[in-house]
Every structure is written in C-alpha cells, then in structure tokens.
Amino acid sequence: MWKFLLLVIAAALEVGGDALIRSGLKGGGVSLMAMGAVVLVIYGFMVNLTSLDFGRLMGLYIVIFFVVAQLTAVLFFREKLQMPVVVGGALVVGGGLTMACWHT
C-alpha cells in the first residue's frame, strides 16, 4: 500500500510541477517556472523510491498520473473532459492495470 501512496504523491508532484511551469509561461514569471523545475526533480526521486520492476512501475504510474492529471485539469484549470480523453483514458487505465497486476 505504501508503494501506491508513493506513486500517488509522485503523480501529484509531477502534475503540480507541470502546472507551475505552465502558469509561469502564461505570465506568472520565472519564479513559478523555477519552482516547477524543483518540484519535477523531487517527483523524479519519489517515483523511483519503490522497489517495483521498472516496467511494472511505469505501467502503474502512468495510470495514476493520468487520473491525477485529468482531475487537475478539471478542478484547477476548469477544463471539460472530452470523449477522446475519456475513451483513451480507459485504454490507458486498462493497459496500465494489466501490466501492473498480471503476475507471471
């Protein structure tokens, strides 16, 4: 369970860092972009603290990242989910869960 929590925190950091850089580029200034860069470096360490195989780690992480990114887009950037994102997202979630959960 702690591995899942680490991945959720990593996804929040990655999305947050990207959002800071995006805000900086849209007029927030260099300081927001610099903060975004620092947050992205922290994300890089956080996502790699688990002992999962890299392929399974990325499969599961991509699912978590996708969900966190869409929640951020809707809640903070007031974007509406479009059908291609919903359908493609279902494929992302299904594929990532398959990679992460299929035990050989």
Rounded distance, CA 98 to CA 104, Å? 12
- So where are the chain's domains? 2-101
- Closest alpha carbon to 91 in 68, 71, 55, 62: 62
Region 81-89: what's the mean pLDDT? 95
Q: What is the pLDDT of residues 87-97, one digit of tens each?
A: 999 999 999 88
Q: What is the pLDDT of residue 104?
A: 67
Fill in the amino acid letter for 101.
C
- Residue 90, number of CB atoms within 10 A of its CB: 10
Other residues' Cβ atoms within 10 Å of the Cβ of residue 80 = 7
Tokens of 85: 């994102």
pTM (two decimals): 0.77
**Among 68, 58, 57, 88, which Cα is nearest to 14's?**
68
pLDDT in tens, 4-59: 888 889 899 999 999 999 999 999 899 999 999 999 999 988 888 877 777 777 88
- Residue 54, pLDDT score: 78
